[in-house]
Structure 1
């Protein structure tokens, strides 16, 4: 490593003053351009990650609210069906219909199904 540094130093000092100035300016411009491009890359990467994270958070919160509203609607419909007078009447007759024949049980099933569908 020291040999290379020594060679570069002797090569540099053997050149004319104009070539040395051009060489120094070229090296400085390359280093400054690399630093600029690297810093712009890091800044853009951080901004992109931050923006993506924010957008995903908003999307997840929106989905969560929609699911909450959906399940709240289902809960309200279930309560409305159970509290309704027709449903209470059908449920109070339930033990009798379990011992009944198949056609009576099927009619009861269809009544409950139509009651739920009409409520929804």
Structure 2
């Protein structure tokens, strides 16, 4: 039974990583696409209010998607921490915990914070740069 639980936890950790990758890549891709679209629309937006409105719609989309991505990453961080603590407890019970360095928990936390910063920074850049160019 213990082996089944271990397999389930490691499977959940793998799924968690895949979900995090989707959040990160989707938000960064959207940020860069929005940056390109809005930067390309700058010239026309000076004379056409419709283009300016479209630019603001993309800004709203970037904000919404980045909030969802950051929320997803924060939940992923919490889930990973809980799963890893469960594994560590299991390892401790089986007296094999010396093979897993618990400092990895803080490394994962830092990594998640860096991912969130990348999403946030690309989002801010995709919003600010086109309006500075305007």
Q: TM-score, normalised by structure 2?
A: 0.36
Higher relative contact order (CA 8 A, sep 6+): 2
Which protein is bigger by CA-based radius of gyration?
Answer: 1
Q: TM-score, normalised by structure 1?
A: 0.40
